Structure 1
Amino acid sequence: MPPDAIYFNGGALIVVGMLLISGGAVFSSPSAHPWIVGLVMGTMLQQTVLAAAWSAIGPCKLMWRMPLSLVWAGLMGAALEVPLMMGPHAPRLVFIIATSSLWLVGQIPLWLTSLSFGLRLQHHGYPPETDPPKQGQFSTSQLMAFMAFIAVLLAIGRLIVLGGAVKMPDIIELQMMALMFATQMLITLSLLFTALLPKWSWRSSVIGVAIVGIATVIEARILSVFIGEDCWIAIWTNLFGAIWVLIFAAMIRSSYYHFGATK
């Protein structure tokens, strides 16, 4: 498959994501089933994370992939913003600003991962399974250690929020979105980076899925404190977010791209 195929497939992924977000926003209501809200939030937040990941590990030049990935993140917010503008209380670019800001925040852990291990997506003219191993490839144990570090930071942040050290009662929705975004970031680090290893390891994938499951349980409990009831929204959001990560990883691998060490 030619290297440029990844850009066509990526554009299709963005369009489908925008259609799902806009469609879910149009047909949703305060009494909508949690899976609809989860579909909208999981798609918007996870594609924002994937846009941030693309700026850090994408195959094209930085001067192109950085602004284009920011546009990608902004489009996710616009997909939700436009349908809501038809209502009586227009959000006034809130979601576009939110996804762009979250994209910026997401650069930190993703660039740290990319620079620490010298990672970039590289194209190969044959399936990655037949590609000879490269010198300097990071190990699965190093990847798991880094993800565990991120998970600890996430847990500390959640404890701070629950402990009342950070109180922003007037922007509770932004707090919830930031919490959900942090979990989507963990999903990306847990699933995407293991799925794109040149030699796939079922052990690392199992660990990644376990981390996602634990994070989902913790997030659901925290969001239940915010909204006062059992929160299925977190479960559906993370489920759809994980699906988007796997679709993105499958798209990359089918285009004969995988991680290669640049060091």
Structure 2
Amino acid sequence: MFDLLVGERSRGHDTICLPARWRRPPIRCSVHRGRPTAAERELLVTTKVGVARTGPDGEWRLDGRPAVLRDQVEQALRRLRVERIELLRLHRIDPETPLADQLGTLRELRDEGKVGRIGLSEVTGDELDRARRIVDVASVQNRYNLLDREHEPVPAACEAAGIAFLPSRPVAWGEPGQRSEVAAVAAEAGATPSRIALAWLLGHSPVVLPIPGTARIAHLEENLAAEGVELSPAQRELARRPLREPGRRNGAVAPRRGSGRHG
């Protein structure tokens, strides 16, 4: 898989997203096997912090306390075998820890050279404004796709500020193929519905960088092929018609620290 990613770097794809899998035994992820090649040196490795176990029952909770964030960064540095995490993202804002404490800790880690850039996840426009008063924000990862545009104002705010916007779940778990509008555009363009969903995002704004997840190389290559799909204005308009109920959320969010059962 790493050889494939290095190969994709030569084709212009230079980001590896490696969320920390804290629930598993320690993972040894080596970005460099021996002396890194020129392509390997240009890869950007990113991970997240801010979710931690709260008890022996295995549940996860948002936890943005400074000591927890620092410990998770140190663990990530060891496991990734790097001296600096080029893009560190806060998994969610922990409502039980002052925002200044959470982002202040990440800023300190950046100043210490352990973090290159700081990103946020699942934030509102107001939260992004507040965060930018505390620290420079390089990226925002929010749930956003053709069928789920709850965070519509955030991509616009990111574009205005020159912040990278990383739509998570960009193909809505395959649901676009079940929607007549997207299916019609896919048939007309000679592409799969998932590829249309990614192409729509890529043409949405120059700061948009979709991050579709995959466990198969063939699926990864299928996603990358979306770059070659050019949608006409009419196709973009047809595909973007509101397709989901306002306020409906797709996917679970980690509970707040202190809620739920503790062993």
Q: TM-score, normalised by structure 2?
A: 0.29
Q: Highest relative contact order (Cα 8 Å, sep 6+), 1 or 2?
A: 1
By percentage of residues, which structure has more helix?
1
Q: TM-score, normalised by structure 1?
A: 0.29
By percentage of residues, which structure has more strand?
2
Larger Cα Rg: Structure 1 or Structure 2? 2
